[in-house]
Amino acid sequence: MTANELVWRIAGGSGDGIDSTSQNFAKALMRSGLSVFTHRHYPSRIRGGHTYVEIRAAPEEVKSRGDGYNCLLALGDSFARNPQDEAYYGNEEVKPLTENLDDLREGGVIVYDEGLLDDDDVEDLDERAEEEGWHVYPVDLRGLAREHGREVMRNTAGVGVTCALIDMDLDPIEELMSERMSGDILEQNIDILNMAYEQTAEKEFTHDLTVPEGSHDEDQVLVSGSTGIAYGALDEGCRFIAGYPMTPWTDVYTIMTQNLPAMGGISEQVEDEIAAAALAMGASHAGVKAMSGSSGGGFALMSEPLGLAEMNETPIVLVESMRAGPSTGMPTKPEQADLEHVLYTSQGDSNRVVFAPGTPTEAYDQTRKAFEIAYNYQIPSIVIYDQKLSGELVNVDESFFDREPNPSLGATLTEDEIEEAAHHASGKFQRYLHDPENGVSPRTIPGQKGGRFLASGNEHTPEGHISEDPANRVAQMARRERKLNAIRADLDGREQSNQTAHGEEDAEYGILTWGSQQGTVEEAVDRLNENGHSVKSLGVSDMMPYPEDEVIEFLESVDQALVVEMNASAQFRGLTQKELGRYGEKMTSLLKYNGNPFEPHEIVEGFETSINGGDLDSETTKFVPAAGD
């Protein structure tokens, strides 16, 4: 934890503009020279319900949400349903205040809209404020907004008050407003912003929290994991997407759909996820780089098309945006419990590539690799991530995206090449030759002269003809399996590994994690080392084919490893033991599956407990001790 940080939380109801207000505020902080990281918490409701966005800002790189936060803007929930405490969902009117107090740090600042929130309804506010040293500023934000514009502008008033309290310059906020609004709306918002700022600045403050100062070496952009995935796909020449809405996958689907038409691409919203995956395959088969995706339940429907893509060797990329399961689970809450589902779903032996990026930039890089490998090796590639990575926003150097596009269809022949290629005596193109060493037998595209073949989900001969001949079966299975070995060697031979190491190489202890928990683990590692421990971490992204060498090297080099993941059955630890066949005695699991991602302190405390002993399970996390092999 850095002492010099602002962790601002804006809370209200769904539909109150929390998302857009927080995004602009995050951009303003970024423009002012700070690094930012956001964490979004929302219910599965269109209107009302408790929702918040947290923005952590500091002069140095921010990789994770913080431990709690230090500044609250509690707007009223204008869609609150239940004004009574005894209601099933509690008194929703005061939730923007009450639901957020537990996480507020000692000495924190509270701004709330006294135009909508009655503090008489929050019984112990004064008492708790005194105990915790909170500084409470009730302001009639609604009144201010009504007077100078419209009631919905109370968010702007709240931002104005916050800026005055933490001594933040209004310029970047006004700039952002001018870029997005115009006319009366803009004028009123600017008025309200300044009015709120000036009224507050006149008051006397009891707190000493101010916005940190920082600067960037180059221009920054604010991106999420979903942006990373979508932009990676676009830069890899993906111009076709098919999907069906489902939280949280919808983010990627929407970004693609908003950009594809202008790029001469096609987006299809279809009847179900079986169709979505099948459409992506049809488009890819006909010569277009294509993708689809969903979240847990929708991805389950894609199982059979996924198996077909393995069998008829159609290059496709699918993304799986995990949320808490089983079944409908908790639609807007993150979890990493679909790993085994994604690795093994569909009948027969798995033959696919699965990447789990840890950050928005890794999401971009690994989505590009997923496409490159899918088309070079004619295999389905899956990018698995979760609601946390999907929605979190971080600042990235603008130049990061200054890359060359790669629209290559990979192992695909042109008509000239087809003329030279192997054909069966019948004239059929030999699409599935037995002998390629890396397993890849190049394909043709319908409409090409001399390229006709049969693509079948049945086992097939080199020209695609259905066959149950044992020798052919073994040859085809062996060739498809060779692709995975070739992909592993290809990935291992690259300059940049998908696995992310952090900390000193000769550290005594290790923390192993995968996917979206990487940044939080890295922050925990830094804190542990500051506390005098000797710890390093490895964030693993290659789920299939598994990066054996890198993980073995890591595990061999440490005395003990803590495996951190967001599920109840330690799926990644299980995968690691299965793939490596040992190290069961070295790995202790720290698990969390309550719907909220890890906070750094939970990993710090979990690590210390795993080393020193103590009460193993906390209120929010669970231990699975190391076991023999």
Partner 1 sequence: MSAFSAIGEERDVDQNEYTPGIEPQATWCPGCGDFGVLKALKGAMADLGKDPEEIMLVTGIGCSGKLSSYFESYGYHSIHGRSLPVARAAKLANPDLEVVAAGGDGDGYGIGGNHFMHTARENHDMTYIVFNNEIFGLTKGQTSPTSPKGHESKTQPAGSAKDPIRPLSLALTSGASFIARTAAVNPNQAKEIIKEAIDHDGFSHIDFLTQCPTWNKDARQYVPYTDIQESEDHDFDISNRREAGEAMYEAESALYEGEVLTGRFYKEENRHSYGQEKRSLGEMPEEPLAERYFDDSYEWERSYDLLDAHK
Sites for partner 1 among residues 231-250 (CB under 8 A): 231-232, 234-235, 237, 239-240, 242
Q: Contacting partner 1 (CB under 8 A), which of 83, 245, 326, 405?
A: 405
Residue 515 DSSP one-character state: G
**261 sits near partner 1 (criterion: CB under 8 A):** yes
Q: Contacting partner 1 (CB under 8 A), which of 43, 436, 450, 574?
A: 450
Shortest Å distance, C-beta 567 to partner 1: 30
Q: What angle do CA 521, 524, 530 make, to 5 degrees?
A: 145
Shortest Å distance, C-beta 284 to partner 1: 8
Residues contacting partner 1: total by CB under 8 A: 83
Q: Contacting partner 1 (CB under 8 A), which of 58, 116, 144, 283?
A: 283
Q: Interaction with partner 1 in 465-504: which residues (CB under 8 A)?
A: 465-466
**323 sits near partner 1 (criterion: CB under 8 A):** no
Smaller CB separation from partner 1, 224 or 609: 224
The DSSP result for 98-128, as a single string, is HTTTTTEEEEEEEEEETTT--GGGSTTHHHH
Binding window for partner 1 (CB under 8 A); candidates: 123-131, 135-143, 426-434, 574-582:
426-434
Smaller CB separation from partner 1, 170 or 192: 170
Shortest Å distance, C-beta 472 to partner 1: 13
Site track 301-320 with partner 1 (rule: CB under 8 A), x = hit = ---xx-xx---x--------
Gap between the Cα atoms of 169 and 31, Å rounded: 11
Residues 6+ positions from 388 with CB-CB distance below 8 Å: 39, 225, 334, 516, 597
Smaller CB separation from partner 1, 137 or 240: 240
3-state SS of 290-340?
EEEEECHHHHHHCHHHHHHHHHHCCCEEEEEEECECCCCCECCCCCCCCHH
**533 sits near partner 1 (criterion: CB under 8 A):** no
Smaller CB separation from partner 1, 274 or 475: 274
**53 sits near partner 1 (criterion: CB under 8 A):** no
The closest alpha carbon to 6, from 62, 51, 50, 74, belongs to 62
Site track 13-32 with partner 1 (rule: CB under 8 A), x = hit = --------------x---x-
Expressed in angstroms, the distance from the first to the final Cα of the chain is 37
Gyration radius from the chain CA atoms: 27
Shortest Å distance, C-beta 134 to partner 1: 34
**91 sits near partner 1 (criterion: CB under 8 A):** no
Shortest Å distance, C-beta 367 to partner 1: 11
**457 sits near partner 1 (criterion: CB under 8 A):** yes
Whose tokens are 């489902």? That residue is: 246
Residue-level length of the chain? 629
Smaller CB separation from partner 1, 69 or 377: 377
Shortest Å distance, C-beta 4 to partner 1: 25
**447 sits near partner 1 (criterion: CB under 8 A):** yes
Q: How far is CA 470 from CA 332, 473, 476, in A?
A: 48, 5, 10
Smaller CB separation from partner 1, 472 or 557: 472
The tokens for 284 are 């890819």
Binding window for partner 1 (CB under 8 A); candidates: 6-14, 93-101, 326-334, 419-427:
419-427
What's the sign of the alpha-carbon dihedral 613, 615, 621, 623?
positive
Cα 531 → chain centroid? 29
The closest alpha carbon to 145, from 158, 135, 136, belongs to 158
Residues 6+ positions from 185 with CB-CB distance below 8 Å: 149
Q: Contacting partner 1 (CB under 8 A), which of 86, 449, 495, 506?
A: 449
Between β-strands 266-269 and 290-294, what pairing exists: parallel, antiparallel or unpaired? Answer: unpaired
Shortest Å distance, C-beta 534 to partner 1: 39
The closest alpha carbon to 381, from 223, 577, 575, 229, belongs to 229
Q: Is the peptide bond before 315 cis (omega within 30 degrees of 0)?
A: no
Site track 341-380 with partner 1 (rule: CB under 8 A), x = hit = ----------------------------------------
Shortest Å distance, C-beta 620 to partner 1: 33
Gap between the Cα atoms of 501 and 518, Å rounded: 10
Task: Name the burial class of residue 120, with classes exposed (0-12), middle (13-18) and buried (19+) by CB atoms within 10 angstroms of its CB.
Answer: exposed
H or E element, residue 482: helix 470-492
Torsions phi, psi for 419 (to 5 deg): -55, -35
Q: Interaction with partner 1 in 176-235: which residues (CB under 8 A)?
A: 219-223, 227, 230-232, 234-235
Binding window for partner 1 (CB under 8 A); candidates: 1-9, 445-453, 597-605, 606-614:
445-453
Q: Contacting partner 1 (CB under 8 A), which of 455, 477, 501, 568?
A: 455
Gap between the Cα atoms of 52 and 40, Å rounded: 6
DSSP-based three-state secondary structure for 360: helix
Binding window for partner 1 (CB under 8 A); candidates: 42-50, 263-271, 325-333, 503-511:
263-271
**603 sits near partner 1 (criterion: CB under 8 A):** no
Smaller CB separation from partner 1, 77 or 365: 365
Residue 271 DSSP one-character state: S
Shortest Å distance, C-beta 228 to partner 1: 10
